[in-house]
Amino acid sequence: MQDNSEPKNIERRRFIRNGMQLALAGTLVGVAALSVKKTRASGMVWQIDPFKCVQCGRCATECVRMPSAVKCVHAYNLCGYCDLCGGYLKPDPNARSTAAENQLCPTAAIQRRFIEDPFYEYVIDENLCIGCAKCVAGCTSFGNGSLHLQIRHNLCKNCNECAIARVCPAEAISRIPADKPYQIKGGFRKTPAKDKG
């Protein structure tokens, strides 16, 4: 009687070894694909186009970060340094002062500093800003639009699908090249549409 157990053991070992090699190869291909995808994605970041933003307030509530990675920024070269700032003061304020009841920002993230009569400078404390866009809406409606929202990339998780972009009614959030991450209103101009005819 012949002992056939040894060839079966060799076949079983070969089968297990081949299966492990195949699983390892599959894992390596998967890891390589993920790193290629991540490398490509790292060249792009999410950002708000300030010319499309409608100040809906969703940046404050829809971001996966709490508080939001969206912050108000100030384009100082556009600002009028007004005494009566629509982005700082509530409509019909009791007084043009820094008192909380007169401020539009719910977190007092905007600081008003006297320069000279009648000019004031408005500075954003990004640690307090929640990206609610109340100041941006006021500045756009009653001022020159120097306040606008931007996604701060030191805070943003750069999610594959931005939660804010999904619900943005103006489609103002899109991926842009990481080497040009900020779209500051005073820093560039959109090319005007050419007249036909």
Q: Give pLDDT, residue 9.
A: 64
Can you give the pLDDT at residue 191? 36
pLDDT (0 to 100) of residue 42: 63
The ranges assigned to domains in the chain are: 45-186
Q: Which residues of the chain have pLDDT under 50?
A: 35-40, 188-197
Instruction: Using alpha carbons, select from 149, 147, 142 the residue that is nearest to residue 77.
Output: 147
Rounded Cα–Cα distance for residues 16 and 96 (Å): 79
d(CA 175, CA 173): 7
